[in-house]
Amino acid sequence: MRRFLQHYDKILLALGVVVFLAAGALGATRLRKLDEIAARNPVAGIEPARYELTRAVVPSIAMVVWNEAPRQSTGSEWVYDVFTPPVIYYNPQTQQFTVTPPAVTGPVAVAGNDEPYDIELIGVRQEPYRIQLVGYVGTADNPIATFEIVDSGETVVGRPGRRFERQEFTLQSFEITRLTTPAGEGMPVVENVARAVVLDERSGREEVLTNRERKMMPRLQATFRVNVYPGETRTVYEGSSIEANGQVYQVTQISMFPPQAVVSRRSRDALGANETRTLSPSSADGPQSSPTRGSGIVPAPE
């Protein structure tokens, strides 16, 4: 026993070597088997299935005709089609919505009288404010405002505090600001924008003007071509009259959406019959406007 204990460490070493060699031999055997498996043809003895050609089935498309858009409970004119919903107007006087422009619901042409009018409607627009800011002269640090008086066509200039006695307004303030507008992938556009505040002595109100756009008023005006006078046009408002070739044409209603005017014709001596027609622009020149189809609400002209 004593001799066994003396050689105990050598015995353990020998056992360890034996276990190591056995493990190595077993691992080598398994590796050879894996190599043999990998070298084999995985599809040996397997007959692949033949490819069968099949034709694609084209689905049949059924043609369906949509029913006509039904009338709404609000009225027979309220027809909502798929791509063309009605233009909706709001009348502030009646506080109601309608699809018929309130300003063109008057009478139409008298039956049996096809004699053409001597005036043609060119277009309809809002009335421009009587004072328009054109721009400025001088430098941006010390500018002088430049105004156009629409009625007379004259140009007047002045600095803040000046009262234009004949034109009946006072320039309260005037300033120049730099406005930067993006221009896609290019360099942004930088421009000087003039802004003026004027006190209108006729109305007693302050008005803000800019040289970037014309200031327009709510009132509508219609421009007519007078055929008996070549090249002559007249711009009038509701209630105005135009005389041509012994006839008096009374403009009773004006609408912007769509651009139309209701005009009554009578003889100057009041002996002829009175006739009323609704006129639309007959050409593309002149200021015109047309409704935008959609579900938005267009305010009725005042």
Same domain assignment for residues 245 and 286: yes
Contact 278/255 with Cβ under 8 angstroms? Answer: no
Which of 186, 214, 242 is at the close of a domain? 214
**What pLDDT digit, counting tens, does each position of 54-109 carry?**
888 888 887 777 777 666 666 655 655 555 556 666 655 555 666 655 444 444 44
Same domain assignment for residues 138 and 208: yes
Same domain assignment for residues 172 and 236: no
Q: What is the C-alpha end-to-end distance of the chain, expressed in Å?
A: 127
**How far apart, in whole angstroms, are the C-alpha atoms of residue 147 and residue 18?**
113
pLDDT for 199: 96
CATH number of the domain bearing residue 277:
2.30.30
Considering 33-42, 77-86, 215-224, 268-277, the range whose residues carry the highest mean pLDDT is: 215-224
Least confident of 63-67, 220-224, 242-246: 63-67
**How far apart, in whole angstroms, are the C-alpha atoms of residue 79 and residue 85?**
7
Same domain assignment for residues 250 and 146: no
Please indicate, yes or no, if residue 48 is contained in any of the structural domains. no
Same domain assignment for residues 156 and 11: no
The rounded percent of the chain whose pLDDT value lies above 70 is 70
Same domain assignment for residues 164 and 227: no
Compare 151 and 284 and report the one with higher pLDDT.
151
Which of 199, 214, 229 is at the close of a domain? 214
Domain residues for 10? Answer: 2-38
Structurally, the chain folds into a number of domains equal to 3
Same domain assignment for residues 167 and 274: no
Please indicate, yes or no, if residue 79 is contained in any of the structural domains. no
Same domain assignment for residues 173 and 228: no
pLDDT for 257: 85
Identify the CA nearest to 93 among candidates 108, 105, 85.
105
Please indicate, yes or no, if residue 157 is contained in any of the structural domains. yes
**How far apart, in whole angstroms, are the C-alpha atoms of residue 107 and residue 263?**
10
Please indicate, yes or no, if residue 44 is contained in any of the structural domains. no
**How far apart, in whole angstroms, are the C-alpha atoms of residue 169 and residue 167?**
6
Average pLDDT (224-244) is 90
Same domain assignment for residues 204 and 276: no
pLDDT for 134: 93
Please indicate, yes or no, if residue 67 is contained in any of the structural domains. no
Other beta carbons within 10 angstroms of residue 271's beta carbon come to: 7
Average pLDDT (151-160) is 94
* Cα–Cα separations (whole angstroms), residue 45 to 37, 40, 223, 290: 15, 12, 95, 81
Same domain assignment for residues 33 and 168: no
Compare 29 and 252 and report the one with higher pLDDT.
252
**What pLDDT digit, counting tens, does each position of 167-219 carry?**
999 999 999 998 888 877 778 888 889 999 999 999 999 999 999 999 998 89
Burial class (CB in 10 A: 0-12, 13-18, 19+), 221: buried
Please indicate, yes or no, if residue 90 is contained in any of the structural domains. no
Same domain assignment for residues 227 and 273: yes
**What pLDDT digit, counting tens, does each position of 131-147 carry?**
999 999 998 889 999 99
pLDDT for 12: 76
Same domain assignment for residues 200 and 226: no
**How far apart, in whole angstroms, are the C-alpha atoms of residue 249 and residue 237?**
12
Average pLDDT (21-48) is 74
